[in-house]
Structure 1
């Protein structure tokens, strides 16, 4: 199973969702944002996704094991320039991992489409604001064009009752409200997924609901 976490707009908490979904699904999480990596990469120095996509390292060499196993991405512009995104499918096919969650680049650039093109399905991360629906719709259309199914929509950082039913109807998938919980915000820098740090919290239940939606798509 390869699952992309995507979004039509940056700053909606896509990387946080990818990290926490990886924990809920017991999956390898790959940071495929070649120019603006967000997932932890400093557990130990070594090769990263830039090196793998440039043909300088094997994917198994770049994995950082932890509570969530990661294949991090480099943060240098020179590394991004040398990375051949066409190698991404090969890079994420790591022996020993049946499930892979890809943190995709935001927006509708060409490199944002590659994770969708190699994934069976995606989870769209969106702002709960009504005006943000257009961004989610654009990302949904890109996924459809690339034959990537939509497993669920995450309305992230919710502080009020969100329009989950309306969004779900518009996009054609279950929409789940993910609360603006500081434990989610801390999960990446502390490397503590909320399903482990606070399993009974509303945030953990929301992540669990997204994981169940992925499983219902027949991706397990």
Structure 2
């Protein structure tokens, strides 16, 4: 199972969602932002090296903070030398070895976002309760539909609890999927700052149950997709 996590707009919590979802799914998190990586830098080869033909994908996956990670490089030269046509094959190789992959997509709708979406089986759409974020999330959903990647679920991030119920209902009807609410809690940011899953940092946080239910829903969606 390969899951893309995208939102269109930066700052909506895509990387936080991907990080915690990878932990809950026991998946490999792949930082697919070749020019502005948000997930931590590993200690060995990275995605730039893999897409540049300088490293084997399996040699670039390592455990960071309890999450399996294929980090991205930090240099413009490395990004320019990366062969995006190899990205799908890299993901398939990791999927064969680890079973599940979560892609942290970059913000915007550039070509590499399309490549990531096309390579995924399912999309998790991330947004916040602001008009610009919602507009960009819907544009991302449209791009995914054009590429044949179904939206399996959506995340309303940085939400204010029950006060978002009308928005959650509208978003769910528009996308035709369930919406997971992740409330605004300092513990989520604190865990991310330490590169720990919220589950490990603060087991009782609301976000833990939200990410767990999202992971279960994705497994169910993938199973239905596989059954045809």
When the two structures are superposed, what TM-score results if normalisation uses the length of structure 2?
0.91
Shift of 1:61: 1.2
Q: Look up the SS of the partner of 1:217 in the other structure.
A: helix
Residue 89 (str. 1) matches residue 112 (str. 2) = no
Shift of 1:130: 4.2
Structure 1 residues 129-138 or 112-121, which shifts more? 129-138
Structure 1 residues 9-18 or 131-140, which shifts more? 131-140
Q: Look up the SS of the partner of 1:191 in the other structure.
A: coil
Q: Look up the SS of the partner of 1:157 in the other structure.
A: strand
Cα displacement string for residues 154-196 of structure 1 (whole angstroms, at most 9, x for unaligned residues):
0111135221111111112111111122222133331210122
Q: CA RMSD in A?
A: 1.5
Q: Distance in 2 between matches of 1:75 and 1:183?
A: 27
Q: Is the 8 A contact 1:39 1:188 kept in 2?
A: no
**Match of residue 211 from structure 1:** 215
Q: Distance in 2 between matches of 1:131 and 1:118?
A: 26
**Match of residue 63 from structure 2:** 65
Runs of 4+ in 1 over 4 A off after TM superposition: none
Q: Is the 8 A contact 1:40 1:188 kept in 2?
A: no
Unaligned runs of 5+ residues in structure 1 are none
Shift of 1:199: 2.5
Alignment of 1:139-158 (within 5 A): 139-158=140-159
**Match of residue 98 from structure 1:** 99
Higher helix share: 2
Shift of 1:215: 1.6
